[in-house]
């Protein structure tokens, strides 16, 4: 096994209020955010990871992603303290991508400028829609103009790499409305667009009181038309829901999908680490609730487990098949420690169903495979 690229994920678990569709580990903020204590806890959490996995200490960090929740609730000083603390503990590669998620309802010009000066070089703004009726239904704390203003603040602050999150297939959404959201996004000129179809997740307010969603035909029309408009506007799809201009792909997300390693710090954060000595792949999960996480002198690790060798191929393809690129066979061997012979029956099954093709060095997902990704993935279950 060769050591794959290393990233760091930092989770911030608070939001102004909880959105009814969201199942991320995020909590509506009831009091002031304990930011000093949280930054200290994050760095202590990182220290514990580095002690527990000493092999991580010498490895270069390629990307940092500060996600949530709503990280833009933190002050620029807090983000600066966090990033300085990370730099004291890990070696950063010269062009480390540092992304932070921001909610337009928490956007301020000075704050965005402060994030940029602190070393954040990519901003991901959660817009969802520019239209009031949809923002209301989604329980968002901002309007469309504020989303536009957040984008402008980001540009003025110096950010060249800006992602907008948009959702489609919203309650009572028409095809025209979905296309208008895309057109408004194009008019701003982001380098990256995440375009998610709304899903109803368990244990959310939408799951208890399901809203009326567009029917299957309309959902397909929205996807097909939207995809075409994205292409015409110069956005290339490189993942199921991710589009970018000029190859401005998110290095952090690429690393997840290419089955790279990542440390995860913060409430409920997940990590994935190759244990090169034991030829194992370890997964970690941190204490989930902010109250427990912020207890003094605590062990932040909630659980750690080794992926069963019989699950490795499935986990690899689960991530890898999200990306719209050919899959290097050598990478599979390097990152899983498994031989190509272990895949013989899965690959032959996928080829028989015309979901996959191969040449000497790569596996190539066919057009049919893209349409029936779940069927393709099923070929890699035991
Ligand atoms: C963790 S959120 C971070 C963004 C930030 N908290 C905000 O909402 O402004 C990441 C993105 O996931 C998407 N998302 C969250 N729940 C979703 C759902 N149920 N269906 C589709 N997309 C969802 C939204 O576009 C959201 O911006
Ligand atoms: S979508 Fe974003 S703002 Fe809304 S609850 Fe989830 S993490 Fe918080």
At residue 143, the pLDDT reads 95
Our answer on whether the CB atom of 24 is closer than 6 Å to any ligand 2 atom is yes
d(CA 28, CA 215) in angstroms, rounded, equals 32
At residue 142, the pLDDT reads 94
The pair of three-digit structure tokens given for residue 86, joined into one six-digit string: 């990370």
Strand spans (E) along the chain: 6-12, 14-15, 27-28, 60-68, 91-102, 122-128, 161-168, 192-197, 236-239, 242-244, 261-266, 270-275, 280-286, 301-306, 327-328, 356-358, 362-365
The CATH code that applies to domain 6-255 is 3.20.20.70
Residue of 24, 29, 139 with the most ligand 1 atoms within 8 Å of its CB, for mutation? 24
Residue of 12, 67, 167, 211 with the most ligand 1 atoms within 8 Å of its CB, for mutation? 167
- Looking at the CA of residue 68, tell me the nearest atom of ligand 2: 7
Our answer on whether the CB atom of 16 is closer than 6 Å to any ligand 2 atom is no
pLDDT digits (tens, 9 = 90+) for 204-228: 999 999 999 999 999 999 999 999 9
DSSP 379: T
At residue 2, the pLDDT reads 56
Identify the weakest region by mean pLDDT among 111-115, 297-301, 357-361.
297-301
Our answer on whether the CB atom of 104 is closer than 6 Å to any ligand 1 atom is no
Quote the Cα angle for 119-62-338, to 5°: 160
* Residue showing tokens 């993935």: 377
Our answer on whether the CB atom of 70 is closer than 6 Å to any ligand 2 atom is yes
Our answer on whether the CB atom of 126 is closer than 6 Å to any ligand 1 atom is yes
Query: Over 70: is that where the pLDDT of 266 sits?
Result: yes
pLDDT digits (tens, 9 = 90+) for 8-47: 999 999 999 999 999 999 999 988 899 999 999 999 999 9
Protein residue with least CA distance to atom 8, ligand 1: 126
What is the residue extent of each domain of the chain? 6-255, 327-382
- Looking at the CA of residue 23, tell me the nearest atom of ligand 1: 16
Looking at the CA of 123, name the nearest ligand.
1
pLDDT digits (tens, 9 = 90+) for 231-240: 999 999 999 9
Our answer on whether the CB atom of 52 is closer than 6 Å to any ligand 2 atom is no
pLDDT band for position 146 (cuts 50, 70, 90): very high
- Looking at the CA of residue 22, tell me the nearest atom of ligand 2: 6
Nearest to 141 by CA among 85, 217, 73, 54: 73
CA distances (Å), origin 129, targets 2, 69, 166, 168, 294: 42, 18, 6, 8, 34
Query: Over 80: is that where the pLDDT of 278 sits?
Result: no
Percentage of the chain modeled with pLDDT above 70: 98
Query: Over 90: is that where the pLDDT of 280 sits?
Result: no
């Amino acid at each position: 096994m060769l050591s794959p690229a290393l990233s760091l994920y930092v989770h911030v678990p608070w939001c102004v209020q909880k959105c009814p569709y969201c199942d991320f580990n995020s909590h509506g903020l009831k009091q002031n955010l304990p930011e000093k204590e949280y930054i200290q806890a994050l760095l202590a959490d990182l220290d514990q990871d580095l002690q527990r996995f000493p092999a991580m200490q010498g490895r270069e960090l390629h990307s940092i992603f500060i996600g949530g929740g709503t990280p833009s609730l933190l002050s620029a000083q807090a983000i600066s303290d966090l990033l300085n603390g990370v730099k004291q503990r890990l070696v950063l590669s010269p062009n480390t991508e540092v992304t932070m998620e921001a909610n337009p309802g928490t956007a301020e010009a000075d704050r965005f400028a402060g994030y940029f000066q602190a070393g954040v070089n990519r901003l991901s703004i959660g817009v969802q829609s520019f239209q009031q009726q949809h923002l209301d239904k989604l329980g968002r704390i901002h309007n469309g103009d504020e989303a536009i203003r957040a984008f402008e603040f980001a540009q003025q602050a110096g950010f060249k790499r800006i992602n907008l999150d948009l959702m489609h297939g919203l309650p009572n959404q028409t095809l025209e409305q979905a296309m208008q959201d895309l057109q408004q996004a194009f008019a701003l000129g982001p380098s990256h667009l995440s375009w998610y179809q709304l899903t109803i997740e368990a244990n959310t307010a939408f799951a208890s009181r399901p809203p009326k969603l567009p029917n299957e035909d309309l959902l397909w029309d929205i996807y097909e038309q939207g995809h075409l408009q994205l292409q015409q506007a110069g956005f290339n799809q490189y993942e199921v829901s991710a589009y970018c201009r000029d190859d401005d792909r998110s290095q952090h997300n690429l690393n997840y999908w290419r089955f790279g390693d990542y440390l995860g710090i913060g409430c409920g954060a997940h990590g994935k680490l190759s244990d090169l000595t034991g030829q194992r792949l370890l997964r970690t999960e941190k204490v989930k609730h902010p109250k427990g996480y912020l207890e003094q002198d605590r062990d932040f690790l909630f659980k750690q487990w080794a992926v069963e060798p019989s699950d490795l191929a499935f986990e690899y393809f689960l991530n890898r098949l999200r990306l719209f690129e050919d899959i290097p066979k050598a990478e599979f061997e390097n990152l899983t420690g498994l031989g190509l012979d272990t895949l013989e029956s899965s690959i032959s099954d996928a080829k028989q169903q015309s979901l996959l093709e191969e040449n000497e060095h790569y596996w190539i997902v066919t057009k049919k495979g893209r349409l029936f990704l779940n069927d393709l993935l099923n070929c890699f279950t035991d």
